[in-house]
Amino acid sequence: MTLHRRHFLTTAAAAAVLPVIGGAQRVSAAEGNFEITRTEAEWRAMLTDLQYEVMREDGTERAFSSPLHDLKTAGIYHCRGCDLPVYDSAHKFDSGTGWPSYWQSLPNAIGTSEDRKLLFIVRTECHCRRCGSRLGHIFDDGPDPTGKRHCLNGVSLKFQEA
């Protein structure tokens, strides 16, 4: 009898949580109306599998895997999807998280949306305002002067040295 009760409780708990998880999904930022649009085939032709997963399907690269994480050279970071300048190296800092982090973006470079993919947590997702490519998330635990941490996926960016 205990086994049946345990099975019932497990099944009931899963049934209660699944609608919440399903309801927590949102439309990808990449599916909005943007200045630059491409078909799925065009995106896949220009991006690696990992870049596509992160930029078009809201994936995340592994922490400490991006060569841009430790880059300290002066320059500008551009959106890999459309080459829009999005972040200045002068605003980069070591957040200790394993992802390239910045305390602000360049003016008129990014858009934001609510990310409710994690149960009970609402995050601010940032994407390129011109092509909708997902860049990462913005948190309220960054340094002065903004107090923000733009925690980005390096695969979403290209670097141009100053």
Q: Where are the beta strands (DSSP E) in the chain?
A: 75-79, 85-88, 92-93, 101-102, 110-115, 123-128, 134-139, 149-152, 157-161
- Given a contact cutoff of 8 angstroms between Cβ atoms, the answer to whether 150 and 102 are in contact is yes
82 flagged as catalytic: no
| H-run or E-run covering 20 | helix 2-23
The catalytically annotated residue of 79, 82, 131, 151 is 151
| H-run or E-run covering 40 | helix 40-46
* End-to-end Cα distance, the chain: 71
- Residue numbers annotated as active site: 151
